[in-house]
Structure 1
Amino acid sequence: MTRSDRFAHQAVTGEAKTLPDEQRPAVGPIALLPAAKAESRFVDAVSDAGGEIGELGSDTRAVVWLANDHPEALVEVLEQHPQIQWVQLPWAGVDAFADALSSHDRADLLWTSAKGAYAQPVAEHALALALAGLRSLSLRARATSWGEKIGESLYGASVTIVGAGGIAIELIRLLQPFSAEVTIVRRSAGEVSGAFRTVTSDRLDDVLPETDVLILAAASTGETRHLIDARRLSLLKPSAVLVNIARGPLVDTDALLDALQDERLLAAGLDVTDPEPLPEGHPLWTEPRALITPHSADTPEMIAPLLAERVRANVEAFVSTGRFIGIVDPKSGY
C-alpha cells in the first residue's frame, strides 16, 4: 500500500444541482480528450458510472477534457462537433478556458468544472504558506547568520478568506485547532458554516485593517483582477501576511513588491503569480519577505484521483441522476 493510498484527500464537493429534464444534456458516447491523457483511472471512472466511452465523432454527446494547456484545441473540438452537450473541465478555476466558454455559451451546452474537488490539498498548502509567513520562514531560509528571534502566532489570529468555495470550507476546518477568527468575504450574501462572520465583497475594506492573515481563494474574473491593489495593501497591518492560492491576477504584483520592500507587510506566500510563470530575474524571487511556490498546491499526483471522482460523479449525473457538481456559468466565468 502506497502513502497516497493510506492518506487520500477527499473531494469537498459542495451542493450538487439537479437539472430539470428539459435542461439535461442528451445522453450518448463520451470522449476522453486529449486521448493521450485518458489514463485508466479516468476510463474506469466513466465506466463505473455507467457511461459509454467512444472516440470523438458525430455521435459524441459529451467531452471530458483532461488537458491543462492548449485550450484552443477544445474550442476547435466544439466548433467541429456542435452536437456535444456537456463538457467536463479539469480545473477548479476555468479562466484558462475563457475563450471556449464565451464562444460556446449556448443553452444546450452544459459546462462543469472541478471546483471544490481539489480543496483539501490547496487548503493544506494555504495553511503552510500562512504559517511560514507568520513565522518569517522565508527570511530564515535566506539567512546566513543567527539573527534575531521574530515571528507571529496563528493562534487566535484574525484570518480573512476571500472566496466561499470548497477551499474556504476546508480552511475553516483546518484553522479550528488554532482558534482563529475566520471572516469570509464573498460575492453574494449568506452565512458560511463555521466562520466567525461572513461579509459581502463590498465590505472587504472594512475587514482588512484588523486582518492578520489574508488568504485569496476567489475565482479570477474581470471583477477580481487586482482585487488587492496598492490601496488595499495599505489597509493591512505591517504585521499582516498575504497568501494567494487562487490566481495571480487577483494581486497587483508591482504594488505587492513595493509593500514588501517597504516592510509594510510582514510576508507574502504565493502559489500563483502575475505573470505566471514568474520570470527568472523578477525581483520577487530575491525579496526576502516573499515565499513563492510554482503553482504546486495541487500536484498532478494529488489531483488525479480527485478529478477521477468528479468525473465519475458527473458521468453518473449525465446518464441517470441529473445531479451535476461544479456547474459553470459561462457569463460569470466560474
Structure 2
Amino acid sequence: MTDDSPDVVVLRKSTHGVPVSEYADELRERLPDRDVRHARTPTEERELVADAPVVAGMEIDEALLAEADELELFACAYAGTGHLPLSALEDRDIAVTNASGVHGPNIGEHVVGNLLVFARRLHEGWRRQQRREWRHFRAHELQDSTVTVVGLGAIGKSVVERLQGFGVESIGVRYTPEKGGPTDEVVGFEGPEFEDALARTDYLVLACPLTETTRGLIGEAELKTTPPDAVLVNVARGQVVDTDDLLWALRGNHLRGAALDVTDPEPLPEDHPLWNLENCLITPHCSGHTPEYYSRLADIVAENVRRLDEGEQLENRVV
C-alpha cells in the first residue's frame, strides 16, 4: 500500500436512478479525514481497489476481487448479498456487510399505503374517476383487522411500527418465534400455528428474505387457508409466492387482492395476465427507493470504517 492509496473506494454502479457519486459525497462528509475515491470506469475500479482496505458498492465479481490485494471489507449497498462471490470473499477472510435497515422507513410506508388502498378501495375510486363516473362504492376499514407480517427484520419491524395507531391485531412470522417481536403474537414458518395465523389473516405482508424455507412459501394450500377477502402485499421477493397459484386465487375470488412490488418472473412480461387483473396492483420493484438511501447507507459504512480500525464487531456483517 502506498501513501496515496485510497481508504475507501466506491464502485461505479448506481442504483434507484441516483448517481453513485452522491454516495461517495455522503461518505466524504462522514469521513473527512479519509481518502474516499469514486471509481467511475472499469479501469479506475481495477486501479483503485488494488490498495484499498474498504470497497463499497452494489456488487463485486471475482475478477475485480482478484485485483483487491489489501481488501478487508466489502460494504455491499444492497440488503441481499446472494449475488456476491461470498465463498471467494470468505476464503480471503474479507468481511462483508449489507444495507440492512436502510429501507425500513420507505418500504414500511409503501406497505401501509397499499393496505390503506385496499382497505378503502382507493384503486376502485381511481378507476371510476378515469371513467368520470360518480357512483358510490363500498369500502372496508383497516381497524380491527389482523395483519400478518412474514419476516421481522428491519423492514418487517418498520411495517409493524407504522401500523401502531390503526387499531389492528398483528401476527409476526419468524424463524425463531421464541425470541418474540413487536407484534401481538409471533409464530414460526410452518406447522399448525402458521396455518392458524393464515386462517385469521386479513392482510398478509411478505417482508422476508428469499431462502430455501421461504421459496414458494405461499402457494395454493396457503391461499386456500387465508380467508377469501384477504389481501396479500409482497415486498420480499417474487419467488416467495407461486405466481400460478396467485393467479388462480385472484381470478377465482380466493383472494380479494394483491399488491406486488416484486414478481416472478421479474421484470413481469408485458403479456403476463397479472397486468390485467383489477384486483392486483403492481409496482416495478421500487418500494426500496428513497432520497435518503445513500445517506443512510453512508451512516452504516462510515461507522464500520471506524469499527474496522478499532477491531470492533462490524454492523450488518454477513460474512
Q: Would you say same fold, with TM above 0.5?
A: yes
TM-score range, shorter chain: 0.7 to 0.9
Between the aligned partners of 2:179 and 2:141, the Cα distance in structure 1 is 27
Is structure 2 residue 188 aligned with structure 1 residue 200? yes
1:84-95 matches, within 5 Å, as: 84-95=71-82
1:1-334 matches, within 5 Å, as: 29-34=7-12, 38-46=20-28, 48-49=30-31, 50-53=33-36, 56-65=48-57, 67=58, 71=59, 73-81=60-68, 83-95=70-82, 97=83, 99-106=84-91, 108-143=93-128, 144=131, 145=133, 149-202=137-190, 203-299=193-289, 301-320=291-310, 322-329=312-319
> Rg bigger for which structure?
2
Between the aligned partners of 1:237 and 1:244, the Cα distance in structure 2 is 17
Shift of 1:320: 3.0
Q: Is the 8 A contact 2:26 2:295 kept in 1?
A: no
Summarize the Cα distance change of 1:85–1:195 in structure 2 as closer, same or farther, 3 Å threshold.
Answer: same
What corresponds to 2:43 in structure 1? none
Between the aligned partners of 2:13 and 2:262, the Cα distance in structure 1 is 29
Q: Is the 8 A contact 2:24 2:36 kept in 1?
A: no
Between the aligned partners of 1:156 and 1:321, the Cα distance in structure 2 is 49
Identity %: 32
Structure 2: where are the runs of 5+ without partners? 1-5, 38-46
Q: Is the 8 A contact 1:134 1:241 kept in 2?
A: no
Count of aligned pairs between the two proteins: 296
Between the aligned partners of 1:220 and 1:302, the Cα distance in structure 2 is 25
What corresponds to 2:40 in structure 1? none
Q: SS of the residue aligned with 1:42?
A: helix
Q: Is the 8 A contact 1:46 1:312 kept in 2?
A: no
Structure 1 ranges of 4+ moved more than 6 A = none
Shift of 1:45: 1.9
Between the aligned partners of 1:276 and 1:35, the Cα distance in structure 2 is 20
Summarize the Cα distance change of 1:292–1:44 in structure 2 as closer, same or farther, 3 Å threshold.
Answer: closer
What corresponds to 2:42 in structure 1? none
Between the aligned partners of 2:164 and 2:127, the Cα distance in structure 1 is 31
Q: Is the 8 A contact 1:229 1:251 kept in 2?
A: yes
Q: SS of the residue aligned with 1:234?
A: helix
Between the aligned partners of 2:64 and 2:123, the Cα distance in structure 1 is 45
Q: SS of the residue aligned with 2:63?
A: helix
Q: Is the 8 A contact 1:139 1:289 kept in 2?
A: no
Summarize the Cα distance change of 1:252–1:102 in structure 2 as closer, same or farther, 3 Å threshold.
Answer: farther
Between the aligned partners of 2:279 and 2:29, the Cα distance in structure 1 is 49
Summarize the Cα distance change of 1:300–1:173 in structure 2 as closer, same or farther, 3 Å threshold.
Answer: closer
What amino acid is aligned across from residue 227 of structure 2 in structure 1?
K
Between the aligned partners of 1:35 and 1:189, the Cα distance in structure 2 is 38
Structure 1: where are the runs of 5+ without partners? 1-27, 330-334
Query: TM-score scaled by structure 1?
Result: 0.80
Shift of 1:268: 0.3
Q: Is the 8 A contact 2:231 2:257 kept in 1?
A: yes
Between the aligned partners of 1:286 and 1:147, the Cα distance in structure 2 is 23
Q: Is the 8 A contact 2:150 2:174 kept in 1?
A: yes
Summarize the Cα distance change of 1:242–1:35 in structure 2 as closer, same or farther, 3 Å threshold.
Answer: closer
Q: Is the 8 A contact 1:47 1:53 kept in 2?
A: no
Q: Please tell me the root mean square deviation across aligned C-alpha atoms, in Å.
A: 2.5
Shift of 1:107: 6.6
Summarize the Cα distance change of 1:173–1:257 in structure 2 as closer, same or farther, 3 Å threshold.
Answer: same
Higher relative contact order (CA 8 A, sep 6+): 1
